[in-house]
């Protein structure tokens, strides 16, 4: 019975996820196909197959990140409503006996990894959209360099528009004092890297300093950050990334509101 209850609860969260992720995903797919129809000479059949595959992967990662967010939303109703406790457990305490704390840490870490995976796959897709060829993995700086090299191609304007958005609205400068939409990716990447590579933080065994204090040195506002605020901040960032990059790539206006297959009918 407990297993069935847990499955039903997860299915409820999954249904909420679909409300947040399904509509933008369908719009992305439609915008891409319209662009392909309007520009039949830009890509080979192999390129088209590759781009459809990677955009579907982008949407899949977007689903997973949103699913983790919905789980964090659910946890925000519990007494451990500050993200600090989950970070402290992930970086310092490594406590498994406290079920509530363990669950918070598990879901938060999952969200950090899925969300960064979404960004990284989206960067790869963008690169292949502007420079069809062999998929390659790339860091943030590599991505910017690739966008600069594309500048001399017919897609140069798109590449510079994409680079400018990532630099100013995703990985913007972090002063650590306040949360603004323009550096949500900076926070996400920083937290993911610190959780994934704890060995690089190297805790001191000669003092009472904790690893989470090193994180809070860069992001002091995290100490009082609730799950609700963190979730909304990240959700806004991911959605804005999609809605602002899509018009650059596909030369179509992003249509807000519910999805229907005729949103861009006049553009066909």
**pLDDT confidence bin for 162, thresholds 50/70/90:** very high
Q: Confirm whether 17 is domain-assigned.
A: no
Evaluate whether residue 14 is within a structural domain: no
pLDDT in tens, 52-74: 999 999 999 999 898 888 888 87
- How does 47-79 read in b/e, with b if 16+ C-beta sit within 10 Å? ebebbeebbebbbbbbbbbbbbbbbbbbbbeee
Give the C-alpha separation, 242 to 237, whole Å.
9
Residue 114 DSSP code: H
Report d(CA 122, CA 98) in Å as an integer. Answer: 36
Long-range contacts of 226-233 (CB under 8 A, 24+ apart): 226/76, 226/81, 226/82, 226/83, 227/72, 227/73, 227/75, 227/76, 227/81, 227/82, 227/83, 228/73, 228/76, 228/81, 229/179, 230/72, 230/83, 231/69, 231/72, 231/73, 231/76, 233/179, 233/181, 233/184
Both tokens of 125, joined, read 């897709």
Residue 188 forms beta bridges with which residues?
A: none
3-state secondary structure string across 56-82: HHHHHHHHHHHHHHHHHHHHCCCCCCE
Residue 119 inside a domain? The answer is yes
Segments forming the whole domain that contains residue 243: 23-255
Residue 83's pLDDT band, with cuts at 50, 70 and 90, is confident
On whether residue 268 sits in a domain, the answer given is no
pLDDT, tens digit, 9 for 90 and up, residues 226-264: 888 888 889 899 999 999 999 999 999 999 988 888 888
| 266 inside domain | no
Q: Does residue 260 form part of some domain? A: no
pLDDT digits (tens, 9 = 90+) for 143-161: 999 999 987 778 889 999 9
Average pLDDT over residues 206-222: 78
Output the DSSP codes for 209-226.
Answer: --HHHHHHHH-GGGGG-B
Structurally, how many domains does the chain consist of? Answer: 1
């Amino acid at each position: 019975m407990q297993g069935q209850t847990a499955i039903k609860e997860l299915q409820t969260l999954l249904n909420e996820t679909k409300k947040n992720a399904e509509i933008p995903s369908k719009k992305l797919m439609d915008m891409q196909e319209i662009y392909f129809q309007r520009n039949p000479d830009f890509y080979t059949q192999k390129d088209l197959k590759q781009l459809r595959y990677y955009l579907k992967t982008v949407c899949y990662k977007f689903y997973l990140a949103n699913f983790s967010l919905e789980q964090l939303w659910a946890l925000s109703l519990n007494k451990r409503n500050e993200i600090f406790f989950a970070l402290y457990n992930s970086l310092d305490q490594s406590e498994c006996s406290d079920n509530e704390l363990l669950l918070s840490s598990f879901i938060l870490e999952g969200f950090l990894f899925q969300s960064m995976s979404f960004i990284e796959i989206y960067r790869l897709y963008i690169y292949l959209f502007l420079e069809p060829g062999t998929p390659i993995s790339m860091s943030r700086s590599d991505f910017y360099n690739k966008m600069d090299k594309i500048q001399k191609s017919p897609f140069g304007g798109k590449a510079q528009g994409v680079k400018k958005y990532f630099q100013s609205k995703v990985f913007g400068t972090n002063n650590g004092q306040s949360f603004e939409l323009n550096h949500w990716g900076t926070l996400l990447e920083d937290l993911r890297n610190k959780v994934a590579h704890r060995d690089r933080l190297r805790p001191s065994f000669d003092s009472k300093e904790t690893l989470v204090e090193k994180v809070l040195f860069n992001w002091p506002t995290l100490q009082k950050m609730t799950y609700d605020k963190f979730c909304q901040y990240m959700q806004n960032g991911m959605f804005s990334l999609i809605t602002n990059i899509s018009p650059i790539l596909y030369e179509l206006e992003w249509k807000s509101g519910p999805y229907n297959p005729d949103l861009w009918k006049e553009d066909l």
